[in-house]
Structure 1
Amino acid sequence: MLTSPFPAHGGRSAADRVFGSTATTPRKARAFARGQLARWELPQLADTVELLTSELVTNAIRATEAVSDLPVASSVFPVALRMIALRLLLSPGSVVIEVWDVSAQMPDTGRADPLDDLREGGRGLALVGALSTTWGHRTAPDRGKIVWCEVAIPPARSPGPPARKPGATLPRRLRHAAVTDRSEGPDARTLQGILDGLRRLD
């Protein structure tokens, strides 16, 4: 049974998943991240968070493969992913991505070999630093380490004026001047002028 290595994170929206250290794990981790963002109604972060998740998980798998004293094959040993939505009262907040692996070796911040561009993720933590607000790593409580990064939630755009539906009537123009009272019908002088005009037509 694979269990999460993360301590409880009470009072905040958090979701975690444990994966095996296999070639398909980065793809599964991206799908998990995308689904979780949809549940939190943060689809605008999907592209960035998926890429960061793929990078951190790929690095965790490689770190696990490099450990020589694992009790089982590295492909069976897990890596764990946790996402935390930090909602603040006075700001939009952020999403934190944490990835655990069994290796105590701290992450290498340099770029990997050029062939990494053709592989699943693995473009180095320089990319993580460029796309995230901040990132770091710490020793896990029992064994291994946790590498994390934070992505700011962009502020919501203020809504513009509502679009007018097709066929809808335009708003009425408001009068700014008082309407004067009209007399009942035209005056006698106007009527006499009309009458004189008609007679001249005969």
Structure 2
Amino acid sequence: MLTSPFSSHGDRRVADRVFGSALTAPRRARAFVRCQLGRWDLANLAETAELLVSELVTNAVHATNQVRNAPMASSMFPVAMRMVALRLRVSSGPRSLFIEVWDGSELVPMVAEADTSAEGGRGLALVGMLSTNWGHYTARDRGKIVWCELPLPPVAPTRSPARPARVTAALGHRKGPAAGQDDAHRALPRRVRRHPLAERAAGPDEMTLLRVLDGLRNLDDADMPEGSS
């Protein structure tokens, strides 16, 4: 039985999933991310998050399959337990989405040149380009966790309830400096708040990344058995 290496967390904005270290793991991870972000009303981050997860999980599968002393399932059935784990977490402080991927290898991940033409060759350079921060640390029991961070848009402020018509009419008939000041205040231009953009390294443009994601999704559909949803 595959169990999550992540510690339990009571926050409702945390979700994790364990996958066998097979070639289907990236596809299953992308589907999990797409579904979970939809439940959290963060579907606008799905495309970027899918690309990041696809890269991190692919690297984790390769690293796990190269471990020689993988733990055994049991003494009666000496089958090596090879798995990777994925966790999505929305921070409660500065709003960010954290993507964490665990694998059983303790080798330090190496940054390679991004190659957008292959399923597993894009490299951590792509992760550094698409995320605001990324890194890795040693897991509690064994292996390592590679993580990256995506900023979330700020929460829209709650609008105050509309004034009744009679109150609005009364305010419109106010006399004196206060009324003039109110009219001047309404005439001032409003500042439009824009989401801060993280500085990104040079790499493929947005259209190239979208074509990569479309190709991955087409591979996902081709790998699905007939009759499955």
- TM-score, normalised with respect to structure 2: 0.61
| Partners of 1:50 and 1:125 in 2: CA distance | 14
1:69-148 paired onto structure 2 within 5 Å: 69-71=69-71, 77-88=82-93, 93-111=95-113, 117-148=116-147
The DSSP-based 3-state class of the residue aligned with 1:69 is coil
The amino acid across from 1:79 in the alignment is V
Structure 2 unmatched ranges of 5 or more: 73-77, 158-168, 174-229
> Aligned partners of 1:110, 1:66: CA distance in 2, in Å?
18
Q: 2: distance between equivalents of 1:51 and 1:68? A: 29
CA shift, 1:29, in A, is: 0.1
CA contact (8 A) 1:102 1:144 kept: yes
Q: Percent identity?
A: 58
Query: Could you tell me how far 1:110 is from its partner in structure 2?
Result: 2.1
Q: TM-score, normalised by structure 1?
A: 0.69
Does 1 or 2 have the higher relative contact order (CA < 8 Å, sep 6+)? Answer: 1
For structure 1, which segment, 56-65 or 4-13, has the greater mean C-alpha deviation from structure 2 after superposition? 4-13
Q: Is 1:22 paired with 2:22?
A: yes
Contact in 2 for aligned 1:110/1:124 (Cα 8 Å): yes
Pair 47,74 (structure 1): closer, same or farther in 2 beyond 3 Å: farther
1:57-86 Cα distance to aligned partner (Å, 9 max, x none)? 000001112212225699951100000011
Contact 2:15 2:87 in 1 (8 A): yes
Counterpart contact for 1:65–1:74, Cα < 8 Å:
no
User: How many residues get paired?
Assistant: 156
Residue segments in structure 1 that go unaligned for 5+ positions in a row: 159-173, 178-202
1:1-202 matches, cutoff 5 A = 1-11=1-11, 13-71=13-71, 77-88=82-93, 93-111=95-113, 117-155=116-154
Q: Deviations over 1:163-193 (max 9, x none)?
A: xxxxxxxxxxx9x99xxxxxxxxxxxxxxxx
Deviations 1:4-27 (A, max 9, x none): 001123446100000001111101
Structure 1 runs (4+) deviating above 6 angstroms are: none
- Alignment RMSD, CA only? 2.7
Q: Supply the AA of the counterpart residue of 1:151.
A: L
Contact 1:21 1:74 in 2 (8 A): no
Computing the radius of gyration over CA atoms, which structure comes out larger, 1 or 2? 1
Map of 2:209 onto structure 1: none
Tell me, yes or no, if the aligned pair for 1:98 and 1:146 is still in contact at 8 Å: yes
**What is the distance in 2 between the residues matched to 1:129 and 1:2?**
30
